[in-house]
Structure 1
Amino acid sequence: MRIVLVGPPGAGKGTQAAFLAKNLSIPHISTGDLFRANIVQGTELGKKAKAYMDAGNLVPDEVTIGMAEDRLDQADAAEGFLLDGFPRNDHQARALDAYLTGKGIALDGVLDLEVPEDEVVKRIAGRRTCRNNSAHTFHVEYKKPQVDGVCDECGGELYQRTDDAEDKVRNRLEVYHRETEPIIDYYKQQGLVVTISALGPVHEVTQRAMEALRSDGGER
């Protein structure tokens, strides 16, 4: 299957993408991984991306599109893929369509993870990260540490990252509504979108997503 995963920040896209890709035996391709891989490997696109990032600027669409196309050209993506974080705007969506058309293939579906805005703010603003290891994360409501402010794993201090502050979260949501949400309508016109609720335990959301992708389409 060839799938695009969309949804607001805090919808759990990364978590769901990993489970879905494993269940469907297709590679999970995320924008973050594309940037990291190209920068580490020192590719021309990676050098361009790093220059923009080091200057505090957004990486231009053309650089991101180039990285995505290079990744989709790899052998493991020949029979399917799950795109997470790409495309993120109308220009990227149209570029992806043009690339796929040139290869004589097409998307099978666009999975839209739906989460109420207040829940997104609660999920992200309530997150606490360990200063010693950013992979250790907790939540003031959903995953409380045994001792308030202390990491269960290593005893490090738990803190709220700057970009997890409520005002930053709401700003990210505004960017999502302005730049990424329009591609949902773009793909709806192609009859590709299946919308599911991303509320509830992770395994339930995954099951819901698998059922939606295996159906004939339509919102759920």
Structure 2
Amino acid sequence: MLNFVIFGPPGAGKGTQSEKLIEKYQLIHISTGDLFRAHIKNQSPLGQRVSELIAEGQLVPDEITIAMLEEEVDKNPQAKGFIFDGFPRTVPQAQALDAFLESKNGNIAGVIALDVDQDELTKRIAQRQLETGRVDDQADKLQKRIAEYFDKTIHVLPYYEAQGKLSKVNGIGKIDDIFAELSAVIDKY
């Protein structure tokens, strides 16, 4: 199984690039953000709790996120692999993902970090908010999410770097040029 984590702050292009990678490599995309939004849309008890947390700009607790993620992997036993988007956000989540995949005789082949500076992120998300109206893209919540990434989430990268699994790709430029760089990384596996 070919499993990757696509990493980067909100607005780095993870979703856009994941769509292209899914098509090229026939991988299953698991976005924790999409999972959360689906639960919120369905007004499940979990969705209501997730909605409260996201509205406050907080991260969803590990146990909720991990359970949702494991459920999605288990729904796709014939998958060629997965792209994990928005997860893991902490070293304990990374360790839990590794343990879960090992229990399925799998692992994370690589982690691709999209590097995008804060000015570009702000510009992209402002545009996305105009186009989609996502509540988590509103200016006050956005700054919390970006700060959360740079204060906490980015510290997951050394965990994967120590395993020799980290690749960094410049996330600023033309979508197709960035995709070509991402594909070159994946093709090494």
TM range (shorter): 0.7 to 0.9
Q: Does the 8 A contact of 1:125 with 1:169 survive in 2?
A: no
Q: Quick check: 1:200 aligned with 2:161?
A: no
**Residue in structure 2 matched with residue 175 of structure 1 by the alignment:** 148
**Residue in structure 2 matched with residue 50 of structure 1 by the alignment:** 48
C-alpha deviation, 1:197, in angstroms = 0.4
- SS of 1:68's equivalent in the other structure is helix
Q: Does the 8 A contact of 1:127 with 1:164 survive in 2?
A: no
What is the RMSD of the two structures over their aligned residues, measured on CA atoms?
A: 2.7
Residue identity (%): 38
- The residue correspondences of 1:58-97 to structure 2 (distance < 5 A) are 58=58, 59-75=60-76, 78-97=79-98
**Residue in structure 2 matched with residue 186 of structure 1 by the alignment:** 159
**Residue in structure 1 matched with residue 14 of structure 2 by the alignment:** 13
Q: Which runs of 5+ in 2 are unaligned?
A: none
- How many matched pairs? 185
> Radius of gyration: which is bigger?
1
Higher relative contact order at CA 8 Å, sep ≥6: structure 1 or structure 2?
2
Aligned-partner residue type, residue 171 of structure 2: A
Post-superposition Cα deviations, 1:91-114, rounded to whole Å, max 9, x if no partner, equal 211110110111221111111101
Q: Does the 8 A contact of 2:128 with 2:137 survive in 1?
A: no
Q: TM-score w.r.t. structure 2 length?
A: 0.84
Output the CA distance in 2 between the equivalents of 1:199 and 1:3. 20
Output the CA distance in 1 between the equivalents of 2:129 and 2:46. 33
Q: Which moved more, 1:189-198 or 1:51-60?
A: 51-60
Output the CA distance in 2 between the equivalents of 1:49 and 1:127. 22
Output the CA distance in 1 between the equivalents of 2:19 and 2:175. 11
Output the CA distance in 2 between the equivalents of 1:29 and 1:126. 24
- SS of 2:169's equivalent in the other structure is strand
Post-superposition Cα deviations, 1:90-143, rounded to whole Å, max 9, x if no partner, equal 22111101101112211111111011222222333455615xxx37x9xxxxxx
Q: Does the 8 A contact of 1:30 with 1:83 survive in 2?
A: yes
- SS of 1:196's equivalent in the other structure is strand
Output the CA distance in 1 between the equivalents of 2:93 and 2:13. 22
Q: TM-score w.r.t. structure 1 length?
A: 0.73
- SS of 1:86's equivalent in the other structure is coil
Q: Which runs of 5+ in 1 are unaligned?
A: 138-160
Post-superposition Cα deviations, 1:40-93, rounded to whole Å, max 9, x if no partner, equal 678xxx523423534756532101100000111123564201111111222211
C-alpha deviation, 1:168, in angstroms = 4.9
Aligned-partner residue type, residue 8 of structure 1: P
Aligned-partner residue type, residue 64 of structure 1: T
- SS of 2:92's equivalent in the other structure is helix
Higher helix share: 2
Post-superposition Cα deviations, 1:152-175, rounded to whole Å, max 9, x if no partner, equal xxxxxxxxx78443x654432211
